[in-house]
């Protein structure tokens, strides 16, 4: 089971070192941390698996503010998140650019967690499966089923809101994603220690992409301990 922590735009290098000094995850669970770009080097000092929060599809060029896959590889980073809903919402990411980022990262030997999910309006209008189908098929066409590739289902209405999909809602969405492409599917959307067990014990849930709860070493370690007790 994969438990990934997405720190978003929190924790510079000093706070990153403080986190890892206090973070004690259990054995038996695959743990990944995703700090901001400026804190990648500090995070790598911990010896743990580290992913970036984004990666560009070109090897180099006039792309101010972007970072290439080979640059991350040289640094020692193991993978990258692509297509997080905040990237789609605030930075105009599209299904095409997310798929290109995923393909380039995998070709470079990086792992990828590609994010998909619907808004509250889309869910309430009955378009959840249509939205997921479009997003996941774009990834499946570009990437297929490759080692190191995982999808994170993150209902946009549950990110940073404190709301969490019910276990049944998560299981339904995960099963639908897996009907399109057979890869590990993580749940992301306000995962906390008190909701983790109910979500992670669902049959089609292969782990979690944790946001705010991953910023505290004890809280994140608690989620990892819960995951370690769930049979694979």
Residue 201's Cα: distance from chain center in Å? 18
**What is the Cα–Cα distance from 207 to 192, expressed in whole angstroms?**
13
Catalytic residue among 56, 84, 86, 174, which?
84
For the chain, helix (H) and strand (E) counts, in that order, are: 10, 8
CB 56 within 8 A of CB 70: no
Percentages of the chain per state (helix, strand, coil), in multiples of 5: 45, 15, 40
Active-site position among 86, 118, 154, 174: 154
| DSSP symbol at 190 | S
Confirm if 190 and 196 have CB atoms less than 8 A apart: no
Angstrom distance (rounded) from CA 17 to CA 25: 15
C-beta atoms surrounding 176 within 10 Å? 17
Distance CA 232, CA 223 (A): 16
User: What's the number of CA atoms in the CB half-sphere (13 Å) around residue 5?
Assistant: 33
* 154 annotated active-site: yes
Instruction: Give 114's strand partners.
Output: 82, 151
Residues pairing with 210 in the sheet: 5
The catalytic residue positions are 84, 154
């Amino acid at each position: 089971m994969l438990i990934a922590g997405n720190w978003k735009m929190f924790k510079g290098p000093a706070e990153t070192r403080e986190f890892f000094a206090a973070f004690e995850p259990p054995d038996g669970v695959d743990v990944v941390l995703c700090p901001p770009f400026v804190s990648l080097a500090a995070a790598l000092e911990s010896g743990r698996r580290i992913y970036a929060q984004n990666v560009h599809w070109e090897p180099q060029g006039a792309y101010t503010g972007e970072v290439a896959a080979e640059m991350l590889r040289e640094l020692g980073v193991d993978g990258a998140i692509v297509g997080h809903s905040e990237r789609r919402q605030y930075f105009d990411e599209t299904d095409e650019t997310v798929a290109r980022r995923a393909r380039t990262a995998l070709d470079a030997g990086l792992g990828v967690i590609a994010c998909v999910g619907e808004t509250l309006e889309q869910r309430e209008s009955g378009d959840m499966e249509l939205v997921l189908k479009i997003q996941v098929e774009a990834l499946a066409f570009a990437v297929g089923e490759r080692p190191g590739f995982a999808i994170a289902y993150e209902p946009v209405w549950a990110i940073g809101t404190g709301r969490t999909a019910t276990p049944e809602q998560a299981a339904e969405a995960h099963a639908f994603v897996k009907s399109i492409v057979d890869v590990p599917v993580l749940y992301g959307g306000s995962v906390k220690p008190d909701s983790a067990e109910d979500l992670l014990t669902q049959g089609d849930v292969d782990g979690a992409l944790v946001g705010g709860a991953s910023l505290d070493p004890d809280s994140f370690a608690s989620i990892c301990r819960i995951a370690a007790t769930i049979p694979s």
